[in-house]
Structure 1
Amino acid sequence: MIVYGHRGAKGEAPENTLPGFEHAYRHGIRHFELDLVLSKDGIPVMVHDLTVDRTTGLKGGVCNYTASELHEMDARRNTSSWPRKVGIPRLEQLLDRFGDLEHLQLEVKKDSRQRLNVLCNRLTEIIQRRNLYQMVAITSADTWFLKEIRRRDKKIAIGLVAERKFPRPLSIATRLGCTYFCANWKILNKTMVEIAHRRGMHVSTWTVNRIHDMLQMEELGVDSIITDYPTSSRMFFDNRARALLSLPSRGNIPETSELPHPEAGVRSDPI
Structure 2
Amino acid sequence: MTLLQKNHQRSVAILVLLGIGFLVLTRLISEISFVLARPIYQSLKFLDPDGSFLYISIHHIFQGILALLAIWLVSRIWRIPFADFGFNTRQWQNALRWVFQFCLFWFILQISIGLWLVFSGSALSNFPFPLNARNFGGYFAFQILLSGTGEEPLFRSLVMMPLLFYGRKIGLSNQRNAVIAAGIATLIFMFAHINFALNPLGVTYFNPLQQLTCLTFGIFYAFLFLRTKSVLGPILAHNLLNAVIITSGLILILSFG
How does the TM-score come out when normalised to structure 2? 0.23
Q: Comparing both structures, which one devotes a greater share of its residues to helix?
A: 2
How does the TM-score come out when normalised to structure 1? 0.22
* Larger RCO (CA within 8 A; separation ≥ 6): 2
Q: Quick check: which has more Rg, 1 or 2?
A: 1
